[in-house]
Amino acid sequence: MKKKTCRLLGIMAAMILVSGQVWAAQIISKVEDASVALRIKNGYDTTLTWVITASGMTNTITAGGVAGQTIINTGTGTNDTIVLLAASASALTNASGTTSLTVNAEPSLAADSVDDELLDGTYTAAAGEWLELLWDTSAHLSLDLYFPSRTYQTGVSAYILDKVQALPTGTGDVTASVYKNGTLIASKVITSPSYVLPETLLTGGTNINTNTLGTVATVNLDWELDMPFTGKDAVIVRATRATTLTAGVISATIPNQ
């Protein structure tokens, strides 16, 4: 749903993969409007500010002390996918023409549309820190989890993706997918469930049987995977609704190693 402020990341429990070990809890989770679309590290010595309006059509950035830089999304091949937005972000400079932003597009697929799918808000990162642009779930139509590669998180160890669970509230079929390094490696489709309410209509003294067809808004996804990963490649886990997606949660279980 459209929001003008960023939501805190919906983390039920955080997984940190460092020094070849898995620490802390073994379940990570994201709620609606908390899935990461793009990560940007501020390499300047001043605060990086990124303002998204019109669901990603306009990006107004202050980088390297230079305010008012813009990335405009035309929706016709200019900055309208993650890979194009990432390229434009990487090209932002300070007053001296120096580029010092590190852009990580791993949380999304290269072809993911951003012409009406980003969450409006103001995102900031202090010098040397990361900011994360978020998906607007109701426009993006999916709940995503991102497992970084060693390119952007040092010391990532091997791990097993044991189970994925989700409650995507909306309409249409549910498609659960696992991507490694941007390539689909597993998927599961749940046909949107529906129900029929029998009704009797009295017309001119005659009973006529009628039925009301409806759809079940919330689908319970419980997907056993037991899928090993080396930690070398980025992994995305995604639960999508075909027609609408208004709320929900997605989580993944990582067993102790």
Residue position matching structure tokens 């994360």: 132
Domain-terminating residue out of 89, 110, 134 = 134
- Asked if residue 219 and residue 158 are part of one domain, the reply reads yes
- Asked if residue 153 and residue 88 are part of one domain, the reply reads no
For residue 149, name the pLDDT band (cuts at 50, 70, 90). very high
Pairing between β-strand 159-166 and β-strand 221-229 as defined by DSSP bridges: antiparallel
Average pLDDT over residues 222-241: 97
Residue 170 has pLDDT above 60, yes or no: yes
Helix boundaries (H) for 18-101 = 82-90
- Identify whether 29 is part of a domain: no
Contact status, residue 178 vs residue 187, Cβ threshold 8 Å: yes
- Identify whether 5 is part of a domain: no
- Identify whether 116 is part of a domain: yes
Domain-terminating residue out of 85, 118, 134 = 134
- Asked if residue 212 and residue 174 are part of one domain, the reply reads yes
Gap between the Cα atoms of 63 and 44, Å rounded: 7
Residue 256 has pLDDT above 90, yes or no: no
- Asked if residue 234 and residue 158 are part of one domain, the reply reads yes
- Asked if residue 147 and residue 245 are part of one domain, the reply reads yes
Provide the domain count of the chain.
Answer: 2
Average pLDDT over residues 43-59: 97
Structure tokens at 245: 């997606």
CB half-sphere exposure, 188, CA atoms < 13 A: 16
Contact status, residue 179 vs residue 111, Cβ threshold 8 Å: no
- Asked if residue 130 and residue 49 are part of one domain, the reply reads yes
Domain enclosing residue 80, as ranges: 36-134
Residue 168 has pLDDT above 90, yes or no: yes
- Asked if residue 93 and residue 171 are part of one domain, the reply reads no
- Identify whether 20 is part of a domain: no
Average pLDDT over residues 100-109: 98
Model confidence, pTM: 0.84
CB half-sphere exposure, 115, CA atoms < 13 A: 11
- Identify whether 217 is part of a domain: yes
Residue 123 has pLDDT above 90, yes or no: yes
- Asked if residue 212 and residue 146 are part of one domain, the reply reads yes
CB half-sphere exposure, 195, CA atoms < 13 A: 7
Domain-terminating residue out of 99, 134, 169 = 134
